[in-house]
Chain A
Protein backbone atom coordinates (compact mmCIF):
# COMPACT_ATOMS: atom_id res chain seq x y z
CA UNK A 1 0.00 0.00 0.00
CA UNK A 2 0.89 3.66 -0.10
CA UNK A 3 3.04 5.04 2.68
CA UNK A 4 5.30 7.92 3.64
CA UNK A 5 8.44 7.71 5.75
CA UNK A 6 10.09 10.80 7.11
CA UNK A 7 13.01 11.30 9.44
CA UNK A 8 12.27 11.28 13.12
CA UNK A 9 12.86 14.36 15.15
CA UNK A 10 13.29 16.47 16.92
CA UNK A 11 15.69 18.35 14.70
CA UNK A 12 17.42 21.13 16.61
CA UNK A 13 19.29 23.80 14.66
CA UNK A 14 20.79 27.18 15.28
CA UNK A 15 19.40 30.18 13.43
CA UNK A 16 20.77 30.51 9.86
CA UNK A 17 21.71 26.82 9.69
CA UNK A 18 20.86 24.66 6.67
CA UNK A 19 17.84 22.40 7.00
CA UNK A 20 17.11 19.05 5.42
CA UNK A 21 14.18 16.85 6.41
CA UNK A 22 14.15 13.57 4.55
CA UNK A 23 10.98 12.08 3.12
CA UNK A 24 10.58 8.93 1.05
CA UNK A 25 7.39 7.35 -0.20
CA UNK A 26 5.90 4.13 -1.50
CA UNK A 27 2.99 4.46 -3.90
CA UNK A 28 1.28 2.83 -6.84
CA UNK A 29 1.02 5.11 -9.82
CA UNK A 30 2.27 8.67 -9.71
CA UNK A 31 1.23 10.48 -6.55
CA UNK A 32 1.24 14.16 -5.82
CA UNK A 33 3.55 15.09 -2.94
CA UNK A 34 3.11 17.72 -0.27
CA UNK A 35 4.80 19.30 2.70
CA UNK A 36 2.49 20.65 5.38
CA UNK A 37 3.60 22.70 8.39
CA UNK A 38 1.93 22.86 11.79
CA UNK A 39 2.87 25.74 14.06
CA UNK A 40 2.27 25.31 17.81
CA UNK A 41 -1.43 25.21 18.65
CA UNK A 42 -2.53 25.60 15.05
CA UNK A 43 -3.83 23.48 12.21
CA UNK A 44 -1.88 22.30 9.21
CA UNK A 45 -0.97 24.67 6.40
CA UNK A 46 0.23 23.70 2.97
CA UNK A 47 3.89 24.67 2.64
CA UNK A 48 4.59 23.40 -0.87
CA UNK A 49 3.64 20.69 -3.32
CA UNK A 50 4.72 18.93 -6.50
CA UNK A 51 2.45 16.99 -8.80
CA UNK A 52 4.85 15.22 -11.16
CA UNK A 53 8.39 13.90 -11.34
CA UNK A 54 11.19 16.50 -11.35
CA UNK A 55 8.80 19.25 -10.25
CA UNK A 56 10.22 21.53 -7.58
CA UNK A 57 7.86 23.02 -5.03
CA UNK A 58 8.97 26.15 -3.21
CA UNK A 59 7.57 28.61 -0.68
CA UNK A 60 8.95 30.89 2.06
CA UNK A 61 12.52 29.81 1.24
CA UNK A 62 11.70 26.11 1.52
CA UNK A 63 12.18 23.78 -1.45
CA UNK A 64 11.53 20.15 -2.29
CA UNK A 65 12.05 18.27 -5.53
CA UNK A 66 9.94 15.29 -6.61
CA UNK A 67 12.48 12.53 -7.33
CA UNK A 68 10.80 9.53 -8.88
CA UNK A 69 14.02 7.53 -9.24
CA UNK A 70 14.68 7.67 -5.50
CA UNK A 71 11.01 8.01 -4.45
CA UNK A 72 11.93 11.01 -2.35
CA UNK A 73 10.70 14.52 -1.61
CA UNK A 74 13.23 15.98 0.82
CA UNK A 75 12.51 19.40 2.34
CA UNK A 76 15.36 21.94 2.38
CA UNK A 77 15.94 25.50 3.48
CA UNK A 78 19.19 27.37 3.22
CA UNK A 79 18.91 29.48 6.37
CA UNK A 80 16.33 28.71 9.05
CA UNK A 81 14.82 31.23 11.41
CA UNK A 82 13.37 30.87 14.89
CA UNK A 83 9.94 31.43 13.33
CA UNK A 84 10.37 28.20 11.32
CA UNK A 85 10.06 26.15 14.51
CA UNK A 86 7.11 23.82 13.86
CA UNK A 87 6.17 20.26 12.98
CA UNK A 88 6.62 19.39 9.30
CA UNK A 89 4.59 16.65 7.63
CA UNK A 90 5.33 14.98 4.33
CA UNK A 91 2.24 13.60 2.58
CA UNK A 92 1.08 12.05 -0.66
CA UNK A 93 -2.21 11.71 -2.47
CA UNK A 94 -2.74 8.92 -4.93
CA UNK A 95 -4.04 9.83 -8.38
CA UNK A 96 -5.06 6.23 -8.96
CA UNK A 97 -8.02 6.74 -6.66
CA UNK A 98 -11.47 7.55 -8.04
CA UNK A 99 -13.26 10.79 -7.33
CA UNK A 100 -12.70 11.88 -3.76
CA UNK A 101 -10.14 9.16 -3.20
CA UNK A 102 -7.64 11.26 -5.10
CA UNK A 103 -7.84 13.85 -2.33
CA UNK A 104 -7.06 11.38 0.44
CA UNK A 105 -3.76 12.31 2.01
CA UNK A 106 -1.38 9.79 3.52
CA UNK A 107 0.92 11.44 6.04
CA UNK A 108 4.29 10.72 7.48
CA UNK A 109 4.67 10.84 11.25
CA UNK A 110 5.89 14.43 11.30
CA UNK A 111 9.25 15.98 12.19
CA UNK A 112 9.56 18.55 14.93
CA UNK A 113 11.98 21.35 14.06
CA UNK A 114 13.29 23.54 16.85
CA UNK A 115 15.41 26.54 15.84
CA UNK A 116 17.44 28.24 18.55
CA UNK A 117 18.54 31.89 18.38
Chain B
Protein backbone atom coordinates (compact mmCIF):
# COMPACT_ATOMS: atom_id res chain seq x y z
CA UNK B 1 0.00 0.00 0.00
CA UNK B 2 2.66 2.52 -1.10
CA UNK B 3 0.61 5.58 -2.10
CA UNK B 4 2.92 8.54 -2.77
CA UNK B 5 6.60 7.79 -2.26
CA UNK B 6 9.29 10.47 -2.04
CA UNK B 7 13.04 10.11 -1.92
CA UNK B 8 15.32 11.14 -0.35
CA UNK B 9 13.81 11.95 3.01
CA UNK B 10 16.73 14.13 4.09
CA UNK B 11 19.36 15.91 2.00
CA UNK B 12 22.03 18.54 2.60
CA UNK B 13 23.28 20.44 -0.42
CA UNK B 14 25.92 23.05 -0.97
CA UNK B 15 24.97 26.30 -2.67
CA UNK B 16 25.14 25.86 -6.45
CA UNK B 17 24.74 22.08 -6.45
CA UNK B 18 21.94 20.43 -8.36
CA UNK B 19 19.76 17.55 -7.29
CA UNK B 20 16.51 15.76 -8.06
CA UNK B 21 13.76 14.90 -5.61
CA UNK B 22 11.96 11.79 -6.73
CA UNK B 23 8.24 11.20 -6.46
CA UNK B 24 6.25 8.14 -7.47
CA UNK B 25 2.61 7.17 -6.99
CA UNK B 26 0.94 3.82 -7.58
CA UNK B 27 -2.69 4.96 -7.62
CA UNK B 28 -2.86 5.77 -11.36
CA UNK B 29 -3.55 9.43 -10.54
CA UNK B 30 -3.52 11.86 -13.42
CA UNK B 31 -2.68 14.87 -11.25
CA UNK B 32 0.67 15.27 -9.49
CA UNK B 33 2.19 18.28 -7.81
CA UNK B 34 5.01 19.58 -5.67
CA UNK B 35 4.65 21.89 -2.67
CA UNK B 36 7.14 23.47 -0.36
CA UNK B 37 6.43 24.07 3.31
CA UNK B 38 8.04 26.95 5.13
CA UNK B 39 7.45 28.15 8.70
CA UNK B 40 4.55 30.57 8.97
CA UNK B 41 3.66 30.23 5.29
CA UNK B 42 1.78 26.97 5.00
CA UNK B 43 2.34 25.00 1.80
CA UNK B 44 2.89 26.69 -1.52
CA UNK B 45 2.53 25.07 -4.93
CA UNK B 46 5.71 24.85 -7.02
CA UNK B 47 4.67 22.91 -10.16
CA UNK B 48 1.91 20.56 -11.14
CA UNK B 49 1.02 18.12 -13.90
CA UNK B 50 -2.30 16.82 -15.24
CA UNK B 51 -0.79 13.91 -17.13
CA UNK B 52 2.28 12.56 -18.86
CA UNK B 53 3.94 15.24 -20.94
CA UNK B 54 1.94 18.10 -19.39
CA UNK B 55 3.29 20.37 -16.66
CA UNK B 56 2.51 23.87 -15.45
CA UNK B 57 3.80 26.38 -12.94
CA UNK B 58 2.37 26.97 -9.52
CA UNK B 59 2.86 29.87 -7.15
CA UNK B 60 6.64 29.59 -6.58
CA UNK B 61 8.26 27.90 -9.64
CA UNK B 62 11.52 29.82 -9.88
CA UNK B 63 14.62 27.69 -9.44
CA UNK B 64 12.80 24.41 -10.03
CA UNK B 65 12.18 22.23 -13.08
CA UNK B 66 9.82 19.31 -13.52
CA UNK B 67 8.97 16.77 -16.17
CA UNK B 68 6.35 14.02 -16.41
CA UNK B 69 7.37 11.21 -18.72
CA UNK B 70 5.13 8.60 -17.09
CA UNK B 71 1.89 8.64 -15.13
CA UNK B 72 3.68 7.31 -12.03
CA UNK B 73 6.69 9.62 -11.70
CA UNK B 74 7.07 13.36 -11.21
CA UNK B 75 10.63 14.38 -10.28
CA UNK B 76 11.51 17.88 -9.07
CA UNK B 77 14.90 19.26 -10.09
CA UNK B 78 16.82 21.99 -8.33
CA UNK B 79 19.17 23.37 -10.96
CA UNK B 80 21.48 25.46 -8.75
CA UNK B 81 20.55 25.21 -5.10
CA UNK B 82 20.27 28.39 -3.01
CA UNK B 83 19.84 28.78 0.77
CA UNK B 84 16.34 30.17 0.08
CA UNK B 85 15.39 26.70 -1.15
CA UNK B 86 15.93 25.21 2.30
CA UNK B 87 12.49 23.79 3.00
CA UNK B 88 10.38 20.70 3.35
CA UNK B 89 9.09 19.46 0.01
CA UNK B 90 5.91 17.46 -0.46
CA UNK B 91 4.77 15.59 -3.50
CA UNK B 92 1.03 15.09 -3.89
CA UNK B 93 -1.31 13.33 -6.31
CA UNK B 94 -5.00 12.87 -7.04
CA UNK B 95 -7.52 11.95 -9.68
CA UNK B 96 -8.71 14.69 -12.01
CA UNK B 97 -12.30 13.54 -12.31
CA UNK B 98 -14.48 14.71 -9.44
CA UNK B 99 -13.43 18.32 -9.74
CA UNK B 100 -12.35 20.47 -6.83
CA UNK B 101 -13.56 17.99 -4.22
CA UNK B 102 -10.85 15.46 -5.03
CA UNK B 103 -8.79 14.16 -2.14
CA UNK B 104 -5.13 15.05 -2.56
CA UNK B 105 -2.71 12.41 -1.26
CA UNK B 106 0.64 13.57 0.09
CA UNK B 107 4.00 11.90 0.42
CA UNK B 108 5.90 11.95 3.69
CA UNK B 109 8.10 14.88 2.73
CA UNK B 110 11.72 15.57 1.86
CA UNK B 111 13.74 17.77 4.21
CA UNK B 112 16.26 19.78 2.19
CA UNK B 113 18.95 22.02 3.66
CA UNK B 114 21.11 24.20 1.44
CA UNK B 115 24.29 25.51 3.08
Distance between Cα atoms of A104 and B35 in the complex (Å): 10
Question: How far is A29 from B48 in the complex, measured between Cα atoms in Å?
Answer: 22
Asked whether any CB of chain B lies closer than 8 Å to the CB of A63, the reply is no
A93/B42 in contact, CB under 8 A = no
Count chain B residues whose beta carbon lies closer than 8 angstroms to a beta carbon of A.
31
Shortest beta-carbon distance, A8 to chain B, in Å?
Answer: 9
CB pair B100–A46 under 8 Å, yes or no, is no
Are B40 and A109 within 8 A (Cβ)? Answer: yes
- Compute how far the CA of A32 lies from the CA of B103 in the bound complex, rounded to whole angstroms: 10
Q: How many A-B residue pairs have CB under 8 A?
A: 74
Contact A42 B108 (CB under 8 A): yes
Binds B, one of A13-21, A70-78, A95-103: A95-103
| Contact status A104-B45, CB under 8 Å | yes
> Which B residues fall within an 8 A CB radius of A?
4, 30-31, 33, 35, 40-45, 48-50, 56, 58, 90, 92, 94, 96, 99-109
Q: Which secondary structure dominates where chain A touches chain B?
A: mixed
Question: Given the complex, which residues of A lie within 8 Å of B41, measured CB to CB?
Answer: 109
Known: A43-B107, A43-B109, A44-B90. A103 touches B40 (CB 8 A): no
Which A residues lie at the B interface, using CB under 8 A?
Answer: 4, 31-32, 34, 36, 42-46, 49, 51, 89, 93-95, 97, 99-100, 102-105, 107-110
Residues on the A chain within 8 Å of B100, using CB: 31-32, 51, 93-95, 97, 102-103
**Quick check: B42 and A103 within 8 Å, CB to CB?**
no
Residue of B40, B90, B96 touching A99 (CB-CB under 8 A): B96
A49 — which chain B residues lie within 8 A by C-beta? 101, 103
Contact A102-B42, Cβ < 8 Å, known A43-B106, A44-B90: no
